[in-house]
Amino acid sequence: MRDPVTLAIVVTDAPELHSRLLATLHAALPRVGVLDPGAFACDLAGTEDLLGAPARVARNVLARCTLVGARASAGIAPTPFVARVLAERTPPGEVRSVDDGRAFLAALPLDVVPVDPKVHEELRLLGLRTVGEFADLPRGSVFDRFGSAVARAHALARGEYGDMVRASAPLRRIRARRAWDDAIGSREQLVFALRVVVDEISAALARDGFAALRLELRLDRESAGPLRIERTVLPPTREAAALLRSLRWALEERAELGLVTGCALEVPEVEAARGRQIGLFAPDGAREEEAIATARYLRAKLGKGAVLRARVADDSARLPERASEWVEVIA
Amino acid sequence: MARIEGRFGVHALARGHTSERHRSELVIATKSSLDRVIGGGLVAGEPIAFVGPPSVGKLQLALRATASAQAQGGMAAWIDPTASFDPLAAQRANVDLDRLVVVRARGTGLALAAAAALRSEGFRLVVVDVGDPAFGGVNVDDIAPALSAVRGSPAALLVVAGERGRRLAIPTFVFERVAWERRFDRTVGWSFAVGRAHTSDRALFCVTSLEGALADLGTRADLATVAV
C-alpha cells in the first residue's frame, strides 16, 4: 500500500488567483483537490518515482505559483488536514514537512480544530487548551457527548483521519477541426461535412459527462476572412443532432457563406449533462425535445400565433370556434 | 470512395442493401388498402402528394396517416397556411393533438416551416395542406424549396393539394369521387378512389356524412375478385 503523502498549497494574499493557481497545479500534478478558495491539497502518494521527492515537487510547484504571481506556502504531511495547518503556519515561498501529524498538532491551540464555536467554548469550559489535550480524550466519550461531527474533528486532531483528496478533472478544451482539399460552396454540403466534426465534439462531451452550453464555429474561407459564429444551446445538450441543428440554423441566417476550406468547432462553455426521461415504449419519445426546439425556431421566425397546438374544448359545441382551443406551443 | 470518406467521414457512404434492410422501420403504414396502392405506406425521407377536388377525402386519409405516425411513437407537424385545420375531425381520426404541432405559415414561411420540420429529427410525418387556390389556398409550388430537405429526413412529407404542381415532381396519388350515396333523396355520403394516374389499381373508401367515418372498401382488384 502507498504511504499517504499530501502536499498542501495555501495562498492567503491573492484569492483572485484561485482559478489560475488551480490550472497551474493541474498542469503539474495528477490529483489536485480544492479545500477552500486559495487552499489546495495534492495527493502525492506513489508519485515519488515519477516526480521526485515530495519536497522537491513542492519547491517546483511554489516556483510555478510565483510565475503566476502568487506567494504560496507549502506543507507536506500524511493527511490533508495536517498539511494544510502546516502550510498555513509556513512563511510564503517556503516548504515544511512533518512525519508525525499528531505530534505536530499537539502543541497548537484548540482553534485549529474545525468545530462549531459553541463546541470550542464547551471544550474550553472543560479545561482543554491545546489540540493535544483534545486528542487525548477517549474517542467513544467524544462521540457520545458531542456527536459524529466533533468525533471526526477528534480524529483529525489525532492525525489519523485522512480526508481523501477529491480531485477534480482538469478542464480540457473540447474542440475539433477539419480542413478540406476542395472548398465547399454549398450550404447543404457544408452542413453534411460539419456532421463529422459535431460527432467528434459530441463524443468528447459524452466522455467527460458534459453538455454544451455554447458553441463557437470558425469557418476558414478561400477568398474572405474567417467567419466566426457563436451559438447558445438551450437546453444544453451533447446530442449531435441538436448541436448540428443549432449550427445549421446559424448558417441559414447568413445570406452568403463563400467558399469554405476548413472549420474549427469549440465548446467554450459546458455544464454537467443531465439525464432525461425517455419514453420506454415509444421509439421516438426522446425526439420530442427536437420537435419542441423546431417549434421554438419557427416561432422566432414566423412570429406569435403561427406555431400552435390544438385542444378539443367541447366536442358537442354548436359553434366550431367553441369546439376547440389553440395554444402556443412555446409560450 | 476514400476521398469522400476522408472529406465527409466514414458514415457518408453506405451500401444500398443496408438501407433496404431498415426500410421497414421507416414505413408509416396507414393499415388500410391505401398501403397496397402506395407500396406499403408512407416512407420516411420520401415525399408523396394527395391531389383531388375539394371535399373528396384527402384530409381524412392524411389524418389517418398522422394517427399512424403518432402510433409509432413520433410527433407530427401539420403546416396549415389556410388556417383550416379542424381539431375535432383530427380527434375523431384518432390523432393525438398533444403530439401534433400546427404551423400557420404562408409565402416563404411555408417552405421554411416544412424544411425546418423535415430537418429537425423530431417528427415522423410532416403534412402540408396547401388548400385549394380557388378558396384562399396557396400555390402548391410554394413548397418546392423544401423538397431538398426530404431526402435523409426521418420524417415523411405528405402534400395535400387541389391540383398538381408545375414545379413539384413527387409521387402523386389522385383522389376521384366514385359515387354519391343517397338515401330518401338525401346525400348521406360518398365513395372515392385513390391511386396513381397511370395505373389502374385503386384503393376505395366510403365516407358517411352522418358520422364522418371513413370506411375502407379494399382495392379495386379485391372487389373484382369478390365479384367473380
CA gap A232, A214 in Å, rounded: 4
A98 has pLDDT over 60: yes
pLDDT at B19: 46
Give pTM, 2 decimals: 0.57
pLDDT at B67: 93
Give the model confidence (pLDDT) of B62-116 as tens digits.
Answer: 999 999 998 887 889 999 999 999 998 899 889 999 899 999 998 889 999 999 8
CA gap A240, A249 in Å, rounded: 14
> Between A331 and B88, where is the model more confident?
B88
- Measured in angstroms, the CA of A2 and the nearest CA of chain B are apart by 46
For residue A13, which amino acid is it? D
Nearest Cβ partner of A294 from B8, B120, B148? B120
Chain B residues close to A323, C-beta within 8 Å: 87-88
Chain B interface, mutation test: which of A249, A298, A319, most B Cβ atoms within 10 Å? A298
Chain B interface, mutation test: which of A284, A309, A311, A328, most B Cβ atoms within 10 Å? A284
Handedness of CA A287, A289, A291, A294 (dihedral sign): negative
* pLDDT band (50, 70, 90) for residue A284: very low
pLDDT at B148: 83
pLDDT above 90 covers a percentage of chain A that reads: 21
Region B169-178: what's the mean pLDDT?
91
Give the model confidence (pLDDT) of A211-230 as tens digits.
Answer: 888 899 999 998 888 999 99
pLDDT at B226: 60
By a Cβ cutoff of 8 Å, what residues of chain A touch chain B? 180-182, 188, 192-193, 195-196, 199, 241, 245, 248, 279, 281-285, 287-295, 297-298, 301-302, 305-312, 315, 320, 323-324, 326, 329
Region A284-295: what's the mean pLDDT?
71
**CB distance A219 to A260 below 8 Å:** yes
**CB distance A268 to A228 below 8 Å:** no
Nearest Cβ partner of B8 from A196, A290, A324? A196
CA gap A21, A68 in Å, rounded: 7
Q: Does B26 touch chain A (CB under 8 A)?
A: no
Give the model confidence (pLDDT) of B124-155 as tens digits.
Answer: 999 999 988 777 888 999 999 888 888 878 88
For residue B114, which amino acid is it? A
Query: For residue B141, which of B172, B176, B169, B178 has the smallest C-alpha distance?
Result: B169
Give the model confidence (pLDDT) of A41-69 as tens digits.
Answer: 888 887 888 888 889 999 998 998 888 88
Mean of pLDDT over chain A: 84
> Between A312 and B8, where is the model more confident?
A312
Range among A210-214, B5-9, B21-25 with highest mean pLDDT value: A210-214
SS (H, E, C) A70-114: CCCEEEEECCHHHHHHHHHCCCCCCEEECCCHHHHHHCCEHHHCC
pLDDT at B10: 61
Query: For residue B117, which of B82, B80, B85 has the smallest C-alpha distance?
Result: B80
Give the model confidence (pLDDT) of A130-165 as tens digits.
Answer: 999 999 998 888 888 888 888 888 888 888 866 666
Give the model confidence (pLDDT) of B159-173 as tens digits.
Answer: 999 988 888 889 999
CA gap B138, A195 in Å, rounded: 35
State the complex-level ipTM: 0.84
Chain A residues close to B75, C-beta within 8 Å: 284, 287-288, 291
> Between A97 and A270, where is the model more confident?
A97
Query: For residue B36, which of B145, B195, B182, B158 has the smallest C-alpha distance?
Result: B195
Chain B residues close to A241, C-beta within 8 Å: 121
pLDDT at A278: 45
B17 has pLDDT over 60: no
Chain A interface, mutation test: which of B4, B8, B26, most A Cβ atoms within 10 Å? B8
**CB distance A81 to A113 below 8 Å:** no
* pLDDT band (50, 70, 90) for residue A171: low
**CB distance A112 to A88 below 8 Å:** no
pLDDT above 70 covers a percentage of chain A that reads: 91
Q: Does B104 touch chain A (CB under 8 A)?
A: yes
Give the model confidence (pLDDT) of B192-223 as tens digits.
Answer: 999 988 888 899 998 887 666 788 888 887 77
CA gap B97, B100 in Å, rounded: 5
CA gap A157, A136 in Å, rounded: 9
A13 has pLDDT over 80: no
Contact at CB, A297 and B116, closer than 8 angstroms: yes
Q: Does B85 touch chain A (CB under 8 A)?
A: yes
- State the DSSP H helix or E strand holding residue B172, giving kind and residue range, or none if neither: strand B172-183
Query: For residue B118, which of B80, B82, B77 has the smallest C-alpha distance?
Result: B77
CA nearest to B7 within chain A: A180
Chain B residues close to A295, C-beta within 8 Å: 101
pLDDT at A281: 43
Chain B residues close to A285, C-beta within 8 Å: 73
Query: For residue A263, which of A211, A214, A228 has the smallest C-alpha distance?
Result: A228
Cα pseudo-dihedral A113, A117, A118, A123, rounded to 10: 40
Chain B residues close to A291, C-beta within 8 Å: 75, 77, 101, 120, 122-123
Nearest Cβ partner of B148 from A188, A323, A324? A188
- Count interface pairs A-B at CB distance under 8 A: 120
Region A254-265: what's the mean pLDDT?
89
pLDDT at A167: 61
Judge if the upstream peptide bond of residue A117 is cis by omega within 30 degrees of 0: no
Region A228-239: what's the mean pLDDT?
84
Chain B interface, mutation test: which of A181, A252, A278, A308, most B Cβ atoms within 10 Å? A308
Cα pseudo-dihedral B180, B182, B185, B187, rounded to 10: -60
Chain B interface, mutation test: which of A180, A189, A292, A324, most B Cβ atoms within 10 Å? A324
A288 has pLDDT over 80: no
pLDDT at A163: 64
Give the model confidence (pLDDT) of A66-89 as tens digits.
Answer: 888 888 999 999 888 899 999 999
pLDDT at B52: 92
Contact at CB, B8 and A307, closer than 8 angstroms: no
Contact at CB, B120 and A288, closer than 8 angstroms: no
CA nearest to A179 within chain B: B7
Residue bearing cell 483529525: A156
SS (H, E, C) chain A: CCCCCEEEEECCCCHHHHHHHHHHHHHHCCCEEEEECCEEEEECCCCHHHHCCHHHHHHHHHHHHHHHCCCCEEEEECCHHHHHHHHHCCCCCCEEECCCHHHHHHCCEHHHCCCCHHHHHHHHHCCCCEHHHHHCCCHHHHHHHHCHHHHHHHHHHCCCCCCCCCECCCCCCEEEEEEEEEEECCHHHHHHHHHHHHHHHHHHHHHHCEEEEEEEEEEEECCCCCEEEEEEEEEEECCHHHHHHHHHHHHHCCCCCCCEEEEEEEEEEEEECCCCCCCCCCCCHHHHHHHHHHHHHHHHHHCCCCEEEEEECCCCCCCHHHHEEEEECCC
Region A185-210: what's the mean pLDDT?
87
Q: Does B103 touch chain A (CB under 8 A)?
A: yes
pLDDT at A131: 92
B32 has pLDDT over 70: yes
Chain A residues close to B98, C-beta within 8 Å: 309
A279 has pLDDT over 90: no
**Residue B118 three-state SS:** helix
